[in-house]
Structure 1
Amino acid sequence: MFKLAVLEDTLRISPERFSLPKFDALCYAVHRKYSNRIVPGVGLCVGLWDWLKAEEDYLHPGDGGSWTKVIFRLLVFEPQVGEVIIGRVEHSSSEGLYVSVDFFNNIFIDRLALQEPSVFDEEEQVWIWKYQGHDLHIDVGEDIRFRVVKVVYENSDRSSVSTGAMTVQGSIAGDGLGLVSWWPK
C-alpha cells in the first residue's frame, strides 16, 4: 500500500528562501510540489523520505530564483493489485460502494464486485448481502475489507503532477471480504 518512489526533478528555490539552509529550502519546494498530489504511475505522494543526490545550484537569466537538479525518495500510497485493504464505507448507490481510507477516498467497489447475491435497497440506500436467509446490510460508516482489482490513472504522463487523477477499484466478492464485522477475528 505504501512504497518509496525515486523521483528526479529540477526544483526552483525562490529568493525569499535563500536565507534557509539549502536542504530546508529544497524540502519546502518538494512538499509544495508533491505532497498530497498524484504522480501517474507512482501514486499519491505523502511526503519526502530522503535525498539521494543534489547537484550544484544554477541560475536562469531574468529569474531571481536558483535551480537545483535533485534525486529524492518520496513515501507514496499506491495499492497493488491483489492487496487486501480495510477502508470505511462512505456512500452507497445503485452502481456500487464508495470507500475511503481516511487520507484517500477515491475507491470504488462496483455492484458486480459485491458478494453474491447482493441487492440495493433504494429506500435505505444500502447494499444488502442475502446470505443463507440473513440480510447483511453494508451500512455507511462501517469498516470494509476489500481486494484491490485495479489502479487507474487519468493521465499516463509520469512527468505531470495532479490533485486527483488516481482511482482504486476494489472487490468484496470472496471469503473474508466485506464488512469486518461479518467475519470472526
Structure 2
Amino acid sequence: MYKLLTIKDVVRIPPRMFTMDPKDAAKKVLRETYEGIYDRDEGVILAILDVHDVGRGIIVPGDGATYHEVIFDVLVWKPENGEVVEGEVVEMMPYGAFIRIGPMDGLVHISQLMDDYVVFDEKNRQFIGKETHRVLKLGDHVRARIIGVSVKSKIIRENKINMTMRQPGLGKFEWIDKEKRKAKEA
C-alpha cells in the first residue's frame, strides 16, 4: 500500500552545504539518508517529496555541521498481507517465479502458481500446468495476493514477500480474462 507521510526528524547539514538554501540542503541530505531504505514500521521509502520547515540550526562542539529539526513529506510503500498486487515476472527458478511489484520482488512458490500440477521447463525457463496447459514465462503480467512478509533488514533485497496466484481473480491476466469469458458464457 502506498502512503504519503509527514515526518519530523533532525538533519545534519555539513559545512560544504552552508551556501545552499536550507530547504534544498536538507532535502539533499534526506534523500541520501532515507530513499531506498526499508523501514520496519512504514515500508520502503520511495521518495522525499517536499521539505516544509527547517528549524534553526544547532552547532555541536567538535562537529562543524549544523543540526536542524526538519518537517518533510515522504512517499512509502509497505506490502501488506492480503493485499492484491499486479506485477511482471522477472525471474524463474525451479522452485517458483519472482514477480516485480513496485520497488520489491515477491516470490510465488511453484505450489502457489495455479490450481494444477505444475512443472518447470528448464530449457525454456517457464512453468507449465499439466492439466490446463497454462504457461507462465518471463515478462508475463500477473495479479497475485501477498500472503507473507518477512522483514529482516533496512536493505530492500534482504526482505521477502511471499505470494499466491491460486485464488479466483488471480494469475496471469490472460488466464483471468479466459475465466471471465467462461463465466459470461455459462
TM-score tier, shorter chain, comes to 0.7 to 0.9
**How many residue pairs were aligned?**
177
Q: Deviations over 1:20-58 (max 9, x none)?
A: 111111111111111122222221111123446543210
Q: Cα deviations across residues 77-98 of structure 1 (Å, max 9, x unaligned)?
A: 1122222111011122222111
Does the 8 Å contact 2:119/2:127 carry over to 1? Answer: yes
**Correspondent of 1:182 among 154, 175, 185:** 175
The answer to whether 1:10 aligns with 2:3 is no
Structure 1: any 5+ residue segments left out of the alignment? 156-160
Counterpart in the other structure of 1:141: 139
**Which structure has the greater CA radius of gyration?**
2
Counterpart contact for 1:84–1:146, Cα < 8 Å: yes
Normalising by structure 2, what TM-score?
A: 0.84
For 2:20 and 2:28, the matched residues in 1 are separated by 10
The alignment's C-alpha RMSD in Å is 2.1
Q: For residue 36 of structure 2, what is the aligned residue in structure 1?
A: 36
Which has a greater percent of helix?
Answer: 2
Identity in percent:
24
Any stretches of 5+ residues in structure 2 without a counterpart? Answer: 181-186
Alignment map for 1:1-185 (pairs within 5 Å): 1-51=1-51, 54-101=54-101, 103-123=102-122, 124-130=124-130, 133-155=131-153, 161-184=154-177
Quick one: which amino acid aligns to residue 89 of structure 1? V
Contact 1:97 1:108 in 2 (8 A): yes
Looking at structure 2, the residues matched to 40 and 26 of structure 1 have their Cα atoms a distance apart, in angstroms, of 23
Amino acid at match of 1:61: P
Give 3-state SS (helix, strand or coil) of 2:108's partner.
Answer: strand
Deviation at 1:169, TM superposition (A): 1.6
Q: Is the 8 A contact 2:121 2:128 kept in 1?
A: no
